[in-house]
Structure 1
Amino acid sequence: MDLTTAKQQLATASATHHEPSALTKRRLAALAAFKTLALPKMPKLKFQTWPFFERQPNLTWTGAAAFDLAPALEGQVRLTQVGQVTLDAHVPAALKDQGVLLMDLFTALQTVPDLVLKFLMTVVKADENKLTAHHLAYLNAGAFLYVPRGVKVTAPVEINVTQDSTQPHQPLIHHLLIVAEANSQVDVIQHLTTQGTAANPASLMVEIVAQANSRVTFSSLDELGAQTVTYFKRRAQIGRDAKVEWAVGMMNAGNTVGEMDSELVGEGGEGDSKLIAITTADQQVGINNRVTHHGQHTTGLINQRGVLLGQSRLVFNGIGEIIHGAHGAKAEQQNRVLMMSPATRGDANPILLIDENDVEAGHAASVGPVNPVQLNYLLSRGIPKPVAQRLVIRGFLAAVLTAIPTQRVREELIAILERKLTDGQA
C-alpha cells in the first residue's frame, strides 16, 4: 500500500473514532516515519523477519471476546481490558475526590485530552525505530493512570490486559501511560494474558512520568500465548529525587523482543530494574535492559535472571550509561542465565558506557548449566528429578524474587513460574 492511501485510511479511521485532531496528526507523522525507519537493535538475536506487522492493518478498533469478570472489591483500584474493549474501570470515591484518574486511554483522550497529549509518546519518541512508529500510528488500545501532586495511592492499582486472539488479524497495540506528579506515590500491577490460539502480534508500551520526589513501583506478570509475537517497550522518566522500581516476570510462551529503560533525568533519582525470564521449547527472547544517568548523584540498578529449557534462546543485554556531567552516579548490574538443556543458548551481556570520572560502576554476568552438586544432593534425598530441577531454579531466582517489593506479586509470579517450568519440562 502506498503512503498516501495508508494516510487517508488512517485519518478516516481516527476521525471515525472521534479522536482529537492533534492525535491524528501524530499518527500520520508516525506512519510517514515508519516507512523509512529501521528496526531496533538487539545484539545476538535475529528477529528481523518476525511477523510484527499485518499486511492489511486492522483499523476498526472494536470487538472483544467473551470474558467473565468478578466484581471489584471495596477499595480496589482496577482496570480490565480484553482486546480493544475496557470491561471495568474502578476507582474508589476517596481517590476520585483527590483527582486520581484510571481509565481507557481513548476515553481519557476525550475527557482530558490536554493532559494526555501533554505526556503521550514524550518519554518514548515515535521516531525512535520502526516498531515505535508503527505503535503510535496504529495504536488501538490502552490505559491512562494519573496521580496528582502529593497523593499517595495505598492500594495497588491493578491493570489486567487480555489479548483477544480468538480470531486472526487482531493485533494488540496497547499503550499504558502513567503520570505520577511531584511527591505522589503509586504501586501498579499489570497482568498480560492471551485468550484464544490465533496468531496475532502484540505491541506493548509503558510510559512512566515520575516527577520530583515521587515513588512508582511497576510490576508486570507477562504470560502471552505461544502464537503471539511480542514487541514491548517500557520506559520511565525519573525526576529529581524520584524513584521507579521495575519488577517484571517475563513468562510469555511466544517469541518476544523488547526494551526496558530508566531515564534518570533529575538529580538524586533512582531506577531499580528487576526481571525474570523463562524460555521453553523453541522460543526466542531478547531483552535490552538499560539505565541512563543524566542527573547527578543518581542510582541505577539492574538485576535480571533467566532460565532456559528445551531448545530455547535467551539474550540479556544489560546497559548502564553515565552521561558526561552526571557526577556521583552509581550504576550496578547483574545478568545471569541458567541453561537447563544442552540444546539451549543463552547470552548475558553487561555493557557499561561511561563518560564521567566521579562515578561508581560495576557489573556481573554468568551463563552456565545447573549446579550438579545441588541437583545430586536433592536427588539423593529421594526428590524426583523434575521437582529437584524446579527447586534449583527457585534458588537461582531467589535473589530477584525476594527483592520484589509486593508480596502478592511475588506469590503470583511464583505460581506462574511453577506452571511454566512444569509445562517446559513436559
Structure 2
Amino acid sequence: MIDLKLLEQSIIDFSNLKQEPEWFQQLRRDAFVKKTLLVLPSFEKIRYQKWPIIPEKLIKESEEFVSKKSDENTFIQVGSRTVSLNISEELKEKHVIICDWSTALVEHADLIKKYFMTKAVKWDSDLLTATHLAQLTGGLFIYVPKNVVLDNPITTYLTQDAWDNQDYVQHVLIVAAENSQFSYLENRSTVGDQTTTANIIVEVIAEANSHVKFAGVDQLGENTTAYINRRGYLLDNAKIDWSIGLLNDGNIIGDFDSDLIGAGSHADVKVVAISTGNQIQGIDTRVTNYGKHSIGQILQHGVILSRSTLTFNGIGHIIKGAKGANAQQESRVLMLSTKARGDANPILLIDENDVQAGHAASVGRVNQEQLYYLMSRGLHKEEAERLVIRGFLGPVLTAIPAVDVRERLIETIEGKLINGQKFEKVSQ
C-alpha cells in the first residue's frame, strides 16, 4: 500500500506542473480527504471488491507518444499529453469547443464549474468517483453550442500509457447545448504492458431537444484493471444513442447509466462485449426514468470464450411521477466454452402506474446443429464459430446507425475472436 502523504504530494506536484487554477486544486484536496470516508459501489452479482481497482501509483506527466493520422475534427491523447488536435473551420465558425483538460480549466472555467461532476456523476458518490477527482491526470472537454448541428463526427483516440508503471485516471466531459446535434466516436486503447489501474469517467450532458450519437470502442490492455463509468444526463426531449463495444483484454467494471430527467427524454443503449482468456468483465447498465413519457432501452449481447467470465446487469428504474414512461431491456450471453461463466440479470424497479416495462435475458451455448451445418459446408470449426457469433451479435450491430462505427466494431470483434480462439487452443 502506497504512502498516502506521498500520493497526496504527487497530486499537488502534478497539479502545479499543469498550472491548474486554485478552485480546481481545492476540489482535488476535498476529494482526497472525502475518499477516505467512502466505500466502493456495489453492483448486483459482480464481485470486484478485491481487485486492484483503486489507482495508487504516483501521478506524473506522460512522456510517451503514439503516431496516428490526425484527420479533421480529431483529438489524440496519450496518457495526459495531447498529441494532436485538428478542428475544422466549420467547428471554429460555429464556436464548438474541443480542448484538453488543462486548457478547459483555464479558458472555460465557468462551463467546467457548471457541469463537471455536478449532474451526471457526483464526485462524492463513492470511493471510485472521489478517487477519480483527486487523482485525475487528463482528458478532454467538448461543448457544442445551442442550435448547432454537425454533419461530420468528432473522433477521439485516447490511449493509456502503460510503458511506465503509472495508473490512468481520465475524464471526458461532453455538453450538448439546447437543440444541438452531433456524433462522437471514442477509441480507447493501451500501449505498453505494465500492470496498471484505469479509472475512466465520461459525462454526457444533453440539454433540451439535443441529440448525441455516442459510440465507444474500448480495447484496453491485458494488464490493465479498469473502471469505466459512462453517464448521461438528459433534459426535456433530449436523446442519447449509446453504442459501446467492450473489447478489452483485462478485468473490467463497466458502469453505464442514463438519467432521463426531462419529459420525453430518450436513451437507447447498445452494448457488445467479448470476454476471452481468464478475463472477468462485469457490465452494469442502468436507465432511470424521472421524466414523464421518457424512454429507456437497453440491448446487450456478449460472447465468452475459454475460462473467462461475463456478467450483464440490465436495470430499468421508473421513478414515482414518471407517468407514461417506457423501460425496455434485453441482455443475452453466448458461451463458447464449458469452462466459461456467464450471467444476465434483468432488474425492473417500477414506482409509478401508467407505464410500460419489459425485459428479456438468456445465457446459452453455441447451437451445435448450426456448427455442424456450417462445418459440413467445408468451414473449419473456428470459422464456423465466428459466423455463429456474428449472427448472435447481429441484432446489436445492425441497430447501430453509424455505418463507420458498425464496420469498425465488426473488424475489432473479428480480431478479438481470433485471438481468443488461439488462447483456447493453447490452454487446452
Q: TM-score range by the shorter chain?
A: over 0.9
- Percent of pairs identical after alignment? 45
Q: Is residue 419 from structure 1 mapped to residue 415 from structure 2 by the alignment?
A: yes
**Match for 1:320 among 313, 316, 328?**
316
Secondary structure at 1:373 match in 2: helix
Instruction: Could you list the structure 1 runs, at least 4 aligned residues long, displaced by more than 6 angstroms after superposition.
Output: 1-5
> Map of 1:19-38 to 2, 5 A cutoff?
19-38=20-39
Distance 1:223 1:8, change over 3 A: closer
Secondary structure at 1:325 match in 2: coil
Match of 1:251 in 2: 247
Q: Is residue 232 from structure 1 mapped to residue 233 from structure 2 by the alignment?
A: no
Alpha-carbon distance, 1:359 to partner: 0.1
CA contact under 8 A between 2:287 and 2:317: conserved in structure 1? Answer: yes
CA contact under 8 A between 2:70 and 2:86: conserved in structure 1? Answer: no
Q: Deviations over 1:164-212 (max 9, x none)?
A: 11121x2111101000000001100000011111111111110000000
Looking at structure 2, the residues matched to 321 and 238 of structure 1 have their Cα atoms a distance apart, in angstroms, of: 15
Q: Deviations over 1:279-302 (max 9, x none)?
A: 001100001100000000000000
Indicate the larger mover: 3-12 or 120-129.
3-12
Letter in 1 for 2:31: A
Q: Is residue 128 from structure 1 mapped to residue 129 from structure 2 by the alignment?
A: no
Letter in 2 for 1:58: L
CA contact under 8 A between 1:3 and 1:32: conserved in structure 2? Answer: no
Letter in 2 for 1:41: S
Letter in 1 for 2:42: K
> Map of 1:25-104 to 2, 5 A cutoff?
25-55=26-56, 57-60=57-60, 62-72=61-71, 76-104=72-100
**Match for 1:180 among 176, 179, 184?**
176
Looking at structure 2, the residues matched to 309 and 221 of structure 1 have their Cα atoms a distance apart, in angstroms, of: 20
Q: Deviations over 1:94-149 (max 9, x none)?
A: 21121101110111111111112211112201111111110110000101010000
Letter in 2 for 1:106: S
Looking at structure 2, the residues matched to 317 and 173 of structure 1 have their Cα atoms a distance apart, in angstroms, of: 25
CA contact under 8 A between 2:10 and 2:58: conserved in structure 1? Answer: no
CA contact under 8 A between 1:277 and 1:305: conserved in structure 2? Answer: yes
Distance 1:96 1:376, change over 3 A: same
Looking at structure 1, the residues matched to 340 and 162 of structure 2 have their Cα atoms a distance apart, in angstroms, of: 29
Looking at structure 2, the residues matched to 3 and 425 of structure 1 have their Cα atoms a distance apart, in angstroms, of: 43
Alpha-carbon distance, 1:373 to partner: 1.9
Q: Is residue 285 from structure 1 mapped to residue 284 from structure 2 by the alignment?
A: no
Looking at structure 2, the residues matched to 304 and 106 of structure 1 have their Cα atoms a distance apart, in angstroms, of: 35
Looking at structure 1, the residues matched to 63 and 144 of structure 2 have their Cα atoms a distance apart, in angstroms, of: 29
Looking at structure 1, the residues matched to 225 and 51 of structure 2 have their Cα atoms a distance apart, in angstroms, of: 7
Looking at structure 2, the residues matched to 342 and 255 of structure 1 have their Cα atoms a distance apart, in angstroms, of: 20
CA contact under 8 A between 2:145 and 2:180: conserved in structure 1? Answer: yes
Alpha-carbon distance, 1:14 to partner: 2.2
Letter in 2 for 1:264: L
CA contact under 8 A between 1:10 and 1:28: conserved in structure 2? Answer: no
Q: Is residue 371 from structure 1 mapped to residue 367 from structure 2 by the alignment?
A: yes
Secondary structure at 2:37 match in 1: coil
Using structure 2 for the length normalisation, give the TM-score: 0.95
Q: Kindly report the root-mean-square deviation, in angstroms, between the aligned alpha carbons of the 2 structures.
A: 1.4
Match of 2:258 in 1: 262
CA contact under 8 A between 1:10 and 1:59: conserved in structure 2? Answer: yes
Consecutive unaligned residues in structure 1, runs of 5 or more: none
Looking at structure 2, the residues matched to 54 and 319 of structure 1 have their Cα atoms a distance apart, in angstroms, of: 28
Alpha-carbon distance, 1:58 to partner: 1.9
Q: Aligned pairs, how many?
A: 420
Q: Deviations over 1:343-396 (max 9, x none)?
A: 011000000000001100000000010112211111111111100000000000
Alpha-carbon distance, 1:71 to partner: 4.0
Match of 1:140 in 2: 137
Secondary structure at 1:274 match in 2: strand
Consecutive unaligned residues in structure 2, runs of 5 or more: 423-428
Q: Is residue 393 from structure 1 mapped to residue 389 from structure 2 by the alignment?
A: yes
Q: Is residue 217 from structure 1 mapped to residue 217 from structure 2 by the alignment?
A: no
Looking at structure 2, the residues matched to 325 and 66 of structure 1 have their Cα atoms a distance apart, in angstroms, of: 51
Secondary structure at 1:241 match in 2: coil
Using structure 1 for the length normalisation, give the TM-score: 0.96
Alpha-carbon distance, 1:6 to partner: 5.5
Match of 1:159 in 2: 156
Secondary structure at 1:88 match in 2: strand
Alpha-carbon distance, 1:53 to partner: 3.1
Secondary structure at 2:124 match in 1: helix
Letter in 1 for 2:33: A
**Match for 1:206 among 202, 205, 211?**
202
Looking at structure 1, the residues matched to 419 and 8 of structure 2 have their Cα atoms a distance apart, in angstroms, of: 44
Indicate the larger mover: 209-218 or 24-33.
24-33
CA contact under 8 A between 1:230 and 1:254: conserved in structure 2? Answer: yes
CA contact under 8 A between 2:55 and 2:199: conserved in structure 1? Answer: no
Looking at structure 1, the residues matched to 55 and 233 of structure 2 have their Cα atoms a distance apart, in angstroms, of: 31
Looking at structure 1, the residues matched to 206 and 55 of structure 2 have their Cα atoms a distance apart, in angstroms, of: 34
Looking at structure 1, the residues matched to 70 and 38 of structure 2 have their Cα atoms a distance apart, in angstroms, of: 44
Indicate the larger mover: 35-44 or 268-277.
35-44
Match of 1:17 in 2: 18
Distance 1:87 1:13, change over 3 A: closer
Looking at structure 1, the residues matched to 326 and 178 of structure 2 have their Cα atoms a distance apart, in angstroms, of: 23
Secondary structure at 1:403 match in 2: coil
Match of 1:407 in 2: 403
